[in-house]
Amino acid sequence: MQTISGGVCAPQGFRAGGIRCGIKASSQKRDLALIVSDRPCASAALFTTNRVKAASVLVSQERLASRRCRGVIVNSGNANACTGEAGLETARRMAELAAERLGLRPEEIAVASTGVIGTPLPIAPIAAGMAELAASLRASEEGHDAALEAIMTTDTRKKGGALEVALEGVPIRIGAMVKGSGMIHPNMATMLGFITTDAAVEPEALDQALRRAVRGSFNRVSVDGDTSTNDMILIMANGAAGNPLIQARGARFERFTQALEALCAGLARSMARDGEGASRLMTVGVQGAADEDAAALLAKAVASSSLVKAACFGADANWGRVLCAMGYSGAAFDPAGVSVRFASAAGEVLVCAAGAAVPFSEERAKAILSQEEVEIRIDIARESGPGGSATVWGCDLTYDYVRINGDYRS
């Protein structure tokens, strides 16, 4: 498995592009992106669990039913959510316009949106920009970059990547881009993510691989506990690599899924690092829980706690808040068996053993917690077996989070 350049354009047969069409009226930023395969694809997607779903989500759910999407059109600056029938019409029309231009059927194009909720999304600038958007498509890192810029909102960093792995001697590639730095919570689908691969994958296998990869990556991120109306993650596989078909079991499937999960986990970590206003990446690891689900529940409660996040911002070794958050997580565990360590590039310090305080140097703890990337390592003593473990990525709660979200619409 090896990291390569090119993002979503690294896999053979994919092109991407992005332009400014004017949805973000008050800015000069790009706001319309397109990613497309030059041949038919198998596709799979996961969507927000929010009961209030954006028009783009509803339309893409219809499109994905056939598992044959080979392209996606995405706008930023407007979520097209809570926009009624007119919003659904606009989402469908976006896909139609892109399909017409590319000579494809509308059902082959998925739609995604991100931005402010409740403002009608105008179709006019999208229609007017379509020729320019199609002309911007490139099968190169340049195309990936332009598309990625066009899907970003409050993101401060570009989050994308690609890797190559050999399947029985045939190299296959997977590329991805994600946006998301707010509304991020571990209940899936808390972001926009677009993944391309030139592997030949049977649609059911692609669906299973995506679910497994997301479980250990994007579902293990929390920024502020809000789950968006618009979240969506889409994977398209066009088979251009010519590998033996990946089916839903066996060594080939495992190898593909592991590569996909590795790519997603790296991007999930980047999303937490780029959490709105975040000054620190906070990685919470739990070992010795009853099972993996319990470990994830405990780690998420800690990573999501406003009090833990504020203490992290202050580089304050307030481990009591860690135990407190574990206590209301809903997972069963013995508080008397818990030990907590803070760690970073500056070292590691044990602050709690057997559920109670141990003496430690406050000065040293402060130095450890003052790094840009810190870890909270939680071990739960067990009578037998290793138990379940999980890692969750979060970030600190800062003045900037409040500033960014206090007036996001302006």
Q: Where do contacts with a copy of itself occur on this chain (CB under 8 A)?
A: 49-53, 79, 81-84, 87, 116-120, 182-183, 185, 187, 224-229, 305-307, 310-311, 313-314, 316, 318-321, 323-328, 332-333, 335-336, 352, 354-357, 397-399, 401-410
CB of 54 to a copy of itself, least distance (A): 10
Q: Which of 90, 114, 154, 190 is catalytic?
A: 190
CB of 283 to a copy of itself, least distance (A): 19
- 139: helix, coil or strand? coil
CB of 83 to a copy of itself, least distance (A): 6
- 196: helix, coil or strand? strand
CB of 72 to a copy of itself, least distance (A): 22
Distance CA 7, CA 174 (A): 8
In single-letter form, the type of residue at position 101 comes to: R
Nearest residue (CB) to a copy of itself, 212 versus 360: 360
CB of 410 to a copy of itself, least distance (A): 7
Distance CA 251, CA 246 (A): 9
Q: List, in sequence order, every residue forming a beta bridge with 375; answer none if it has no partner.
A: 283, 343
Distance CA 145, CA 33 (A): 10
Nearest residue (CB) to a copy of itself, 134 versus 326: 326
Residues 6+ away with beta carbon under 8 Å from 65: none
Residues 6+ away with beta carbon under 8 Å from 230: 48, 54, 56, 57, 79, 80, 81, 112, 113, 114, 192
Inter-residue contact 173 to 237 (CB < 8 Å) = no
CA-to-CA dists, residue 250 to 98, 139, 205, 235, 254, angstroms: 37, 32, 11, 20, 6
Cβ count within 10 A of residue 40: 14
Distance CA 198, CA 162 (A): 12
- Helix 306-313 / helix 292-304 crossing angle, nearest 10 deg: 60
Nearest residue (CB) to a copy of itself, 65 versus 356: 356
CB of 313 to a copy of itself, least distance (A): 5
Question: β-pairing, 109-114 with 71-76?
Answer: parallel
Q: Is 156 a catalytic residue?
A: no
Nearest residue (CB) to a copy of itself, 40 versus 327: 327
CB of 142 to a copy of itself, least distance (A): 34
Distance CA 280, CA 395 (A): 6
SS3 letters across 101-115: HHCCCHHHEEEEEEC
- HSE-CB at 370 with a 13 A cutoff on CA atoms is 7
Nearest residue (CB) to a copy of itself, 233 versus 297: 297
Nearest residue (CB) to a copy of itself, 187 versus 258: 187
CB of 352 to a copy of itself, least distance (A): 7
| Strand ordering across the sheet containing 71-76 | 14-19, 32-37, 71-76, 109-114
Nearest residue (CB) to a copy of itself, 43 versus 50: 50
- HSE-CB at 333 with a 13 A cutoff on CA atoms is 37
Distance CA 350, CA 179 (A): 36
Nearest residue (CB) to a copy of itself, 156 versus 258: 156
Q: Which residues are catalytic?
A: 190
